[in-house]
Structures are given as structure tokens and as C-alpha cells.
Chains A and B, each alone.
Chain A
Amino acid sequence: MGGCRVKHKDRLAFVTRGLTKSYGEGRSTVHALRGVDLDIPEGEIVVMLGASGSGKSTLLNILGGLDRPTSGTARFRDIDMGCLSDEGLTKFRRMHVGFVFQFYNLMPSLTALENVELVTEIAENPMPAQRALELVGLTHRLDHFPSQLSGGEQQRVAIARAIAKQPDVLFCDEPTGALDSATGRAVLEVLDQVNAELNATVLMVTHAANIAGMAHRVIRLVDGQIGRVEVNKTRLPPAEIEW
């Protein structure tokens, strides 16, 4: 990634300028992002809100190295993501990023511990897999397969898997979307704790506006553009979030 580094002294995790993304051609073109300028400082919990089709998932995918912009630049620290090859993006995800998905995406054939080890085996500086599971409060379920875990437990394994590599950024796409309120709160608590203890930047995409309360920064997307960026002066602890 050497050639992609740029000098940058701010403590910003992500910087985007004029980011656009469109799908299709001609009259059927869909503009998912229409020029997004955004600065995301390191170590914050950032919640991206927006209606369906507002472009929040597209933005998350581009920042997470899963997709490429049509135009504009996206930078992670001093890495220009636009000039990374496929292999470069893979390496970027491997070294810096953890993902948590709405449907957990655990490997059904691996136990909780093994699912986490799947990542620690390939990461550069991972924490012990047991410790990651300890952080999400699942030490008693290490040898259980996903089929033997509840939805909340599966999501916590997914979070443990995402944080075990000690990522710089944690991307969460609707992490509580498939969970009930109690389990959802528990999962948010884990994310809050990971942010505090590991100083990982957490980027969360959600429909649920109430989750915004726990964020340092809330970004609202409207029609593929930044509608408003709010910085919360006081953050709500996840336990107090109304569901």
C-alpha cells in the first residue's frame, strides 16, 4: 500500500471528498451517492441515519473497502482507498476493519471460539480469541455452534469476531436489526465498551433513530447527500436508549 500513503497529520479516520456512486447506465442510472464530503475523527462512535435508499449502506460499503466510488476520493488515515487494488482492499479489510452484519454471518460449521479464531489466525496483532469472547460476555458458550446460540448471542459472537483483530474501525450494518430490545441494548453496550476499551472507531448504519443517542456524532443522509451532521454534547448510555 506504500504508494497510496499521503501525508496527513489530523487524527481523522476517514475523509471523503466529492464521493459519488451510481449504478446502471443511461436513463436507468441510480445515483446512490451524490457528492459526499465527510470527516470522521478516530475513536468516535458515528451513527449514520437515513431512509431506505438514502445511500448510507453504500457509503459504509465504500468506507469498508467492499465497494469503489464512481468518482471522488475516500481516505483512511493516510491511505487513499481509491488507488488500492482488489488485493489492497482485501489487505485493508484484513488489517484495519471489523464487520458486524444484521444477519451475523457466522460460519455455521465453526464453534463460537473457532469463529473468532477464524479471524485471529489471519490478523497481524489479534487479541486472544477467548478475550474477545470475554469482552462480549460469552465465555460460557465457547464450544457452542451457532445453531446452539440465540440471535443476540450470535450477534455477540459476530462482534467478538470483528473486534478480535483489534481493528481500527468497526463497521456495523443494522447490528440490532434482527434483535429484540433487551438483546439489542446488550449488543449496543458491547459496541460502546469496545469503543471505550479499544479506542476503535465505530461506524454504525441504522434505521433506528433512537440509537443516535449513544453516538459521538450523528450523520443524516438524504438522497445520497449529507443532510446534517450533529455532534452530541452528552451521550446516552445504551441501557437508557428507548426502543
Chain B
Amino acid sequence: MVSPLDRKMLRDLWRIKTQAIAIILVIATGVMLQVMMSGLVASLTETRRTYYERNALAEVIAPAVRVPETVLGRLAAIPGVARVSGRVVGSALIDVPSDPVPIQAQAVGLPESGVQDQNIVFLTAGRLPAKNHRDEALLLSGFAAAHGYKIGDRIDVVMNGAQRRIRIVGLAQSPEYLFVAAAGEMVPDPARYGVIWMRHSSLASVYDMTGAFNQALFTLTHGASEQAVIDAADRVLKPWGGTGAYGRSDLVSDRFVSEEIGGLRTMSRAVPPLFIAVAAFLLYIVVSRIVQAEREEIGLLKAFGYTNKEVGVHYTKLLLIIAVAGAALGCLLGVLAGRAMIPIYTTFYNFPFLVFRPDPASFAIGALASVVSASAGSVFVLRRIFALTPSEAMRPPAPADYSKTVSLKGAVGRLLDQPTRIVLRSLARSPWRALGLSAGIAGGMALASGMTTIYGAFDRMMNLSFTVIDRSDATVYFYSPLGEKAAYELARIPGVIAVEPFREVAATLKLGRKEHRGSVSGMILDPQMVRAIDDQLAPIHLPDQGLVLSQALADILGAAPGDMLTVDVREGRQPVLEVPVTQVASSLIGAPAYMQMQALNRAMSEPNRISGAHLRVDAARAEAIYQRLKDMPTVAGVSVAENARASLQKLMDQGAGSARYIMGAVAFIITFGVVYNAARIAQNERARDLATLRVMGFSKSETLFVLLGELGLITLVALPVGSLAGYGLSFAIARGFSSELYQIPASFDPFSHGFSAAFILCAAAISGLLVARDVNRMDLVSVLKSRD
């Protein structure tokens, strides 16, 4: 049996249904974002862990020049090592006929026994290469998909300077190559970097590794120290040209995955709570208004003998239904949205599987935020109403006291007509109420402008990166450093307009206990194509001595100008250098460290060596130029700016960056909800005054002025405040979206603020129209007869 109070509650709920729906949607979108984002982070983290574990991804990787297989025993004896295997890994170049640019690749050896115990490949199609079939190979699925390769296709590969034709017998994925990027490329792109797996014996003969290996993989025992194993492996491999062992987290692929998941995590922690806070605040305001409007009925219920507690429970139930419905809908939508993102993320991350597992904490956070704010809204107002006796509560409330507001006498006051006075006094009388609504709209404005600024910032990042920092058309990488003469050879290719050589040296940069495995870029003096720039976008003149760090790298190392860095070079003679930081440059992609090329070569004791060159080319002859480069045996790869730009755009649109679109949409939904509810509240509170004006002969538009004038003023106050808050917020959001992969530069973007302001004004106008429709339909007689 439903109690009369519960029936009343259901009917009340029906009566305020449009407002309730608006609130439910606002809460739901806030909660949805929280559930979806944190769920994705949890799912990705868990999937990565499972995938690594199932496919036994090595925990330590130790590259060397050539290690006899007999050394494996010594490596296995290192304390903490559970499993060790040696394999051959070599760089290769794939000739894709449809592509003018030669594509860099890595050739990886599979155990001759056929039993993989570490870095197990995941076959998505076909089979493993068979014994005694030296031309059989597996191809990385992502690369095959990007170029349309199928099982049975043959491809031409240059390995160790010799051309071979191999046959694809299987397509594979590997936890080791979730993301692939060519040397020197900041952004992973499955189309621009291939991985081929062949039997150990096939590769050993090509790379001259018979009876030897050039990369050791380690799995550690539980609780073993990674650093201790790395140090021990380095000691064992030193005589064999060990270039420095590293942990799984320094694996290029894992670094990208970590950056992406990290980016999502930062975002999921920073942004959705802001959205939920705005939604909760709105809920609080609306709820307190709804309860306030019920004052008379509360008096009546109490007159019948209902206790404060019963009445309180009655209204709290009503509001909790709204709050819980919003939270529940948000959780549901969050799970659905999260699941909908799974195919995109599975493809993007190259996971063989991905199960969306919502984070239970996000359900709790969403539900708690909405329930607490709804309850707070009702409790505050109910307490005030309970303080009245039932008869006081039921009596027509005395006219609100305006005697202490603005007098509006004097010269300015005389200019105001009465409807304007109504608007101004009403604002002046309850500034907190007006401020509350204003703050709600300002919150919406902040979210909307903050998010649209980020859209612009992504574009700005792209533009700055490819028109100010890197102005080259293409970059050529050599297999190994060559003499400066190589640059002249490039310059002689018809159609090449300018050549700018560079030296790139793999190194670990250390400051105190912090370190970063990356490289040092040696640049010519006053380069024209690829430059280090300061925060005013002016090129930085590289000093004769010392390093210029990108902001991202300075942040990672905690370095500032004047600090002395240890640069542990990972190639050539592997010198350990002490270099001072002279300046910090702004950077938007990656975390580079810049040095004068001459100075770098001096430090390496390798004068006049270059690793490659940036080119500016005649677009009409680009294809011919790339064809020429493809045929040069010294060229390890060519990166075309246009392709790099496209891969970066793809990364930003499909990876963590893609969240910006959802967040933007949610920001606008919430903003609209806030504005609409503000208009609704104003209308409910004003119904009687509006009807009186209509009866007295005020036209609909004159009447609406009183209602919407207030909303308009509240909105106008909210816009600059919200804009300011949005400016601050955009920095927080930009930080959330930035990673080592790319950094989003927040700045004041007039367009975003203008657009958001226009949106809010439109939302206000639409809300105004919706409310106006109700005002026009208002039953004048019944409103006048009611007491208030």
C-alpha cells in the first residue's frame, strides 16, 4: 500500500518533471564522464598488465653489438633473473611499392625451437614461420592493415644492406610493439614503422649473428631489483658492446602506452570532478528552490500532525529520487560510453582484447556527489521552514521586504522605469540567490570556454610544431653517423632546396636521482628549419657549451638553467658527459634536448659526423626525391612532415586527446542545463508578479522583460567571471591533456571565449523562449487567486 505522502511525492515529481529531467541530465552527464574516464583508465591499465603477463613481456632488455650464446649462462646466473633469452634484432627497410618513402622496420628473431618463452607474439592470422623456410616471416598486424598486406604477399626488405624478398605467413601483435615509431619520430604511426619476425637462424645469417645474439631479454624473479639486474647485465655485456640495459618502462612502446594511459588518468582525475562539481552546485540551487516553493504545503502537513522528520524524509525522498536517478543514469551512460570507446581504444592501443571494467569508486563518487548536494539543498531550506509554526508557514507570506535594497532615487534613478526597478531591486534584495545562479552559469561558461580553448590549443600545438619549430618538409636518417659530405650528396638531388644536417645521439640524461632515456639533438648554428624556440616563439641561439632543454624535459628532470646534467651516451664510445643547462626552450612535441652540433661531436670525439638531415624540397619533385632516397643504402629512413603531422593528428584524435570531444559536448550540455534551470527558477518565483503585470495590461514582451531582464543581467555578470575562470581552467585542463608525447599550450583564445559566450547567450535565449512560452500560456486567473 502506497502511503498518501508517497503518492503526493510521485505526483509532485510528475509536476516538476521537466525541471527534474533537466537536473537528471546534468548530473548524469557529469557522472557519465567520471565513470567512463576512470573506467577506461582502469580497463587499459588492467588490460596492459594482463597482456604483458600472458605474453611474458621481458622486464629488462639488454642490447649489445654481438654476444656469443655461451654468455647466456652468465646472464642467467645474475641474482634475480628467472629467465633469460638471447635474440637477434636488426633494423630493416621495407620497400612498399605504393609508398615513395622507404619505411623503417625492425626485424626480430623468433626462437629456433619454436617455443617462445618471452615476448610471445600474438598471432592474429596465419602461422609461425616454418623450419627450413628462410623467407617466411610474420608481419605486424597494424602495419599490414595500414598498407593492405595479406598472408601470402611477398615484400622486399633491405636487411643489413642486402635486399631480400620475404613471404608473409602470419600476422601478429606483440605487447612489445603496441606502439611503433621510427627512429627520430616523436609520434607513433603503424603505417610508418614495420616489424617483421623471422626464425633466429634466418636472421642470424643476415646480420652475421650465427652462434650469437644482440639482445638479451630477462624476466625477473618476484621481488628482484630491476636496477640490480640492469647493472649486472651491463657489467656482463660490456665486453660485447652492451649499449645499456633498460627496464620495461623504457621500452618505446610501453612509454607511449604509459604516456597515453597517464594522460587519461590525469584527465580523469582533473576534469570530471569539475563537471560533477558544477552539476552538484546546480542541483543544490534547484533543490533549495523547489523546497522553498513548497513552504505552504509543508505548513499544511505539519498542521495535520506530521512531524518534522516525516516531512523532511518526504522531501528528501523526492530529491533523492532525482539525484539517484541522475547518478544511476550517469553510471549507465558511463558504462555504455566506455564500452562504445573500447573498439576505438583496442585498435588504437593494438591490444588483442580489451574489456571495459568500470571503476567501482567512480560509481560511488558520482552517486555521493549528487546525493550529498541534493540533501544539503533540502536540509538547509527545510530547517528554515521548520523554524516557522505551521500557521506561519501556511499564512500568505508577508510581501518580501525590499525596504533595505537600493532606493533608486536621484538622477540615475529617475531614468529607470518601473519594470527596470523591479529587476534591479530583485537582484539587490537577494544578491546571494542571484550570485548563486550567476556562479552556476559562470561555472558553465568556465567549462565551455576552458574546453573550447583546448580545441584551439590542439590546433595551435600542431601549427606551432609544424610551422614554427619544425619547418622542414622531410627528415632523412642514416643507419649510422656519416661524414658531412653526406649532406652535400643530399643537396645534389634535383628538387632538394635546402639541407640542414643534424647529429642525434642516444643518451640517458640524469640529474640527481631523476633520469630520462632519450637523445641529444645536435643542431647547426642558427638553423633555419628545425629550431629551439623560447616562449615568445623567438629562435634560441644555441651556446658553444651546454644544453638547451625543452620545457617537458626540464620538468621531467626538475632541471633549471645552471644545473649540471650527466649525459650518459648510449652509442659510439659511450662517453659520460657533464653538461650545464643554459636555457629552457618551449617545446610541444616530445622532450628534446638541444646542443650545438659541433659541440656535441667534440664531446663524442667524432668530429664532423651527422646522423641525418632536414630537407626542404620542391613539392612537385618530392616523389622523385623520395624514390632516390629509397635507393640510397645509407638511408635508414625518411620522415615526411606531412605524414608526421597526420599521425600526430590521429594520435590526438584517437588517443587520450579524443576525450576532449566528449568533454566539450558534456561541458555544453551542463551549461545549457544550468542556464535553463536558472530561467525556470526565476519563472517559478516570479509567476504571480508576472500574472499581475499581464492583468494590468502589460504586453507579453513587457512582462517577459521583468523575467528575462533578471536572467539577462545574471548571465551578463556570469560571462566575464566565467571567462576568467575558464582561462584558469584551461591551464588545468591543458596540463591534464599534456604528456611527454605532446604538450598542449593553453593561452587566452578570444575565439573560444567568444564562442562560449555566444553559446551561453543562445542557451539563455532558448531557455528564455521556453520559459516565455509558459508565461504566455499562464492561467492568469488561477495564478492571481493563489496566494503566492
Q: A interface vs B, CB < 8 Å?
A: 57, 61, 64, 66-67, 86-87, 90-95, 97, 99, 101-103, 105-110, 114-115, 117-119, 121-123, 144-148, 154, 161, 178
Enumerate chain A residues within 8 angstroms of B785, measured Cβ to Cβ: 102
B317 at the interface (CB under 8 A from A): no
Cβ contact within 8 Å between B425 and A109: yes
**Using a CB-CB cutoff of 8 Å, which residues 767-788 of chain B contact chain A?**
780-781, 784-785, 787-788
> Beyond the given A99-B696, A103-B788, A148-B401, could you list 18 further A-B residue pairs with CB under 8 A, ordered by the A residue number?
A66-B781, A91-B697, A99-B695, A105-B695, A107-B422, A108-B401, A109-B422, A109-B425, A109-B426, A110-B402, A110-B422, A114-B418, A114-B421, A118-B419, A119-B696, A145-B401, A148-B403, A154-B399
Q: Please tell me if the beta carbons of B694 and A117 are within 8 angstroms of each other in the complex.
A: no
The answer, yes or no, to whether B628 is at the interface (CB within 8 Å) is no
Taking a contact as CB atoms under 8 Å apart, the answer to whether A93 and B695 are in contact is yes
- The listed residue (B399, B405, B787) touching A146 by CB distance below 8 A is B399
Known: A109-B405, A110-B425, A145-B402. A103 touches B699 (CB 8 A): no
CA distance A154 to B698 in the complex (A): 21
C-alpha gap A71/B678 in the complex (Å): 40
Contacts A103-B396, A122-B702 given: A108-B402 contact, CB under 8 Å?
A: yes
Contacting residues of chain B (402-432) with chain A, CB-CB under 8 angstroms: 402-403, 405, 417-419, 421-422, 425-426, 429
Q: Taking the nearest CB of chain B, how far is it from the CB of A27, in angstroms?
A: 23
Interchain CA distance A109-B696 in the complex, whole Å: 17
Nearest CB on A from B424, distance (A): 8
Q: What residue in chain B is nearest A60 (Cβ atoms)?
A: B781
In the complex, which of the residues B426, B429, B781 contacts A61, with contact meaning CB atoms closer than 8 Å?
A: B781
Q: Is there a chain A Cβ closer than 8 Å to B692's Cβ?
A: yes
A101–B426 Cα gap in the complex (Å)? 23
Question: Chain B nearest CB: distance from A204 CB in Å?
Answer: 16
Of the residues A86, A97, A144, A147, contact of B398 by C-beta under 8 Å: A147
Q: How far is the CB of A123 from chain B (nearest CB, A)?
A: 8
Contacts of B692 in A (CB 8 A): 105, 107
Minimum Cβ distance to chain B for residue A147 (Å): 4
Q: A66-B780, A105-B688 are in contact. Are A110 and B418 (CB under 8 A)?
A: yes
Q: A61: nearest residue on chain B (CB-CB)? A: B781
Contact B696 A118, beta carbon cutoff 8 Å: yes
CA A108 – CA B706 in complex, angstroms?
13
A148 — which chain B residues lie within 8 A by C-beta? 401, 403
With both chains docked as a complex, state the minimum distance between the C-beta of A146 and any C-beta of chain B, in angstroms: 4
> Please, which residues of chain A bring their CB within 8 A of the CB of B46?
none
A238 smallest CB distance to B (angstroms): 25
Whether A94 contacts B401 by the Cβ 8 Å rule is no
In the bound assembly, the distance between CA atoms of A109 and B692 in angstroms comes to 13
Contact A90 B398 (CB under 8 A): no
Residue pair A94, B698 in contact (C-beta under 8 Å): yes
In the bound assembly, the distance between CA atoms of A95 and B787 in angstroms comes to: 27
Q: How far is the CA of A67 from the CA of B782 in the complex (A)?
A: 11
Contacts of B699-739 to chain A: CB distance below 8 A: 699-700, 702
Q: Which residues of A contact B398 (CB under 8 A)?
A: 147
User: In whole angstroms, what is the CA distance A67 to B784 when docked?
Assistant: 13
Q: Judging by beta carbons under 8 Å apart, are A147 and B400 in contact?
A: yes
* CA of A109 to CA of B423, assembled, Å: 8
* CB of B254 within 8 Å of the partner chain: no
Instruction: Provide a sorted-by-A list of 15 A–B residue pairs whose CB atoms are within 8 angstroms.
Output: A86-B700, A94-B698, A95-B697, A101-B784, A103-B788, A105-B692, A107-B689, A108-B401, A110-B425, A114-B421, A118-B696, A122-B697, A123-B697, A145-B403, A147-B402
B418 & A117 in contact (Cβ 8 Å cutoff): yes
Q: Mark B368-398, 1 if CB is under 8 A from A, else 0.
A: 0000000000000000000000000000101
A110 surroundings in chain B (CB, below 8 A): 402, 418, 421-422, 425
Which residues of chain A come closer than 8 Å to B702, judged between CB atoms? 122
Taking CB atoms, residues of chain A closer than 8 Å to B697 are 90-95, 97, 119, 122-123
**Minimal beta-carbon separation of B429 from chain A (angstroms):** 7
Q: Within the assembled complex, what's the spacing in Å between the Cα atoms of A121 and B419?
A: 10
Minimum distance in angstroms from A154 CB to a CB of chain B: 7
Complex Cα spacing A43 to B704, Å: 34
Q: Which residues of A contact B396 (CB under 8 A)?
A: 103, 178
Question: A121 and B402: CB pair below 8 A?
Answer: no
0/1 string, B449-485, CB within 8 A of A gives 1:
0000000000000000000000000000000000000
Q: How far is the CB of A156 from chain B (nearest CB, A)?
A: 14
Contacts of B700 in A (CB 8 A): 86, 90
Known: A66-B781, A103-B787, A121-B418. A108 touches B696 (CB 8 A): no
Chain B residues closer than 8 Å to A101, beta-carbon distance: 784
B400 touches A109 (CB 8 A): yes
- In the complex, the chain B residue whose C-beta lies closest to that of A120 is B418
Question: Complex formed: what's the CA distance from A122 to B261 in Å?
Answer: 65
Q: Is the CB of B699 within 8 A of A90?
A: yes
Q: How far is the CB of B777 from chain A (nearest CB, A)?
A: 11
A115 to chain B, nearest CB (A): 8
Name the A residues within 8 Å of B399 (CB-CB).
106, 108, 145-147, 154
A108 to B403, CA, bound (A): 9
Q: Are A105 and B402 in contact (CB under 8 A)?
A: no
**Closest chain A CB from B484 CB (angstroms):** 83
In the complex, what distance in Å separates the CA atom of A145 from the CA atom of B688? Answer: 17
Name the distance in Å between B428's Cβ and chain A's nearest Cβ.
9
The CA-CA distance from A103 to B396 in the complex, in Å, is: 9
Q: Is the CB of B696 within 8 A of A66?
A: no
Query: CA separation between A57 and B697, bound complex, in Å?
Result: 19
Going nearest first, the 3 A-B pairs with the smallest beta carbon separation are A94-B697, A146-B399, A109-B425
Residue of A nearest to B702 (CB): A122
Shortest B775–chain A CB gap in Å is: 12
A97 and B787 CA atoms in complex are apart in Å by: 22
Interface string of B680-692 (1 = CB under 8 A from A): 0000000011001
- Most chain A beta-carbon contacts within 10 A, residue among B418, B421, B692, B781: B418
How distant is the Cα of A50 from the Cα of B587 in the complex, in angstroms?
86
A86: which B residues are within 8 A, CB to CB? 700
A96 to B161 Cα, complex, angstroms: 102
Cα distance, A114 to B416, chains bound together (Å): 11
B418 touches A90 (CB 8 A): no
Instruction: Pick the residue among B418, B425, B695, B780 that contacts A118 (CB under 8 A).
Output: B418
In angstroms, Cα B329 to Cα A186, docked, is: 60
The CA-CA distance from A94 to B296 in the complex, in Å, is 33
| Chain A residue contacts of B780, Cβ below 8 A | 66
| Chain B contacts for A118, CB-based, 8 A | 418-419, 693, 696
